[in-house]
Amino acid sequence: MQPRTPRAGRTGRPPRLAREAILSAAQRILDEEGAENLSMRRLAKEMSSTPMALYHYVRDKDELLLLLLEEHAAKFPRPDLPAEPRARLLASAQVLHDILVDCPWIVEVVASDDLFAVSAMWIVENILDAAIECGMSPEDAVYAYRVIWYYTAGELTVRFNRERRHAHLDRPPHRDQITGLDPEEFPLLTMLGARWSELTTRDTHRRGLEAVVAGLLDQTT
């Protein structure tokens, strides 16, 4: 009688390798199809396996996403931040943007306000600390963080959705065809029409961030 082969996913090196393979496959799905298309069933199909087999290594989709968030955040270097509180607030807010800008799926995931990476919470801590040193109460510092987060997530979401949609269009985007408007009803839009696409797709995140931070600090004076 042949001895039974031990089940994978219990002890030693094979489970660790299996988890790495699962994370790698999940990352491919996220990069190519987005977070909304990642499921345990989809992941099992990608790996020529079954959902039940994957549950030996990850509890559910949320745990899978948390592992991937931690992996991404842990790889991001911690820059030296300025000592002056206003400059540190702005620099920390910029880091929040920079850690997300190359990973559209992360914005999809963290915008739910449910999942987060502990390895990235140093950014939030620095935003709160800098805001308080700028004269805000702890409650107002949380408000400032939320405003910065909403601006950052919103700006990136619009950018990612535009790039994703435009990549599959076989015609010019409708919003770029603004030159056809009635000049009597829309004189300003008609005047800007030829430059509308270029003006509205510029990377103005930093300029907007500086305006957001300036507005928040003006509220404390």
Superfamily of 15-58 according to CATH: Homeodomain-like (1.10.10.60)
Q: Tell me: domain 85-219, CATH 1.10.357.10, correct?
A: yes
The answer to whether the 15-58 and 85-219 domains have the same CATH topology is no
What is the 8-class DSSP label of residue 180? G
Rounded to an integer, what distance in angstroms lies between the CA atom of residue 27 and that of residue 66?
Answer: 12
Q: Using one digit for the tens of pLDDT, what is the confidence trace for 116-173?
A: 888 889 999 999 999 999 999 999 999 999 999 999 999 999 888 887 776 677 776 6
> How many other β-carbons are positioned within 10 Å of the β-carbon of residue 155?
19
Tokens 């943007």 locate to 97
The answer to whether residue 3 scores a pLDDT higher than 60 is: no
In percent, how much of the chain has pLDDT > 90?
Answer: 48
What is the 8-class DSSP label of residue 6? P
Backbone angles phi, psi at 135, to 5 degrees: 110, 5
Rounded to an integer, what distance in angstroms lies between the CA atom of residue 39 and that of residue 26?
Answer: 9
Q: Please give the model's pTM, rounded to 2 decimal places.
A: 0.80
pLDDT score, position 9: 44
Rounded to an integer, what distance in angstroms lies between the CA atom of residue 176 and that of residue 78?
Answer: 39
What is the pLDDT confidence band of residue 185, given thresholds at 50, 70 and 90?
very high
- Where are the chain's structural domains? 15-58, 85-219
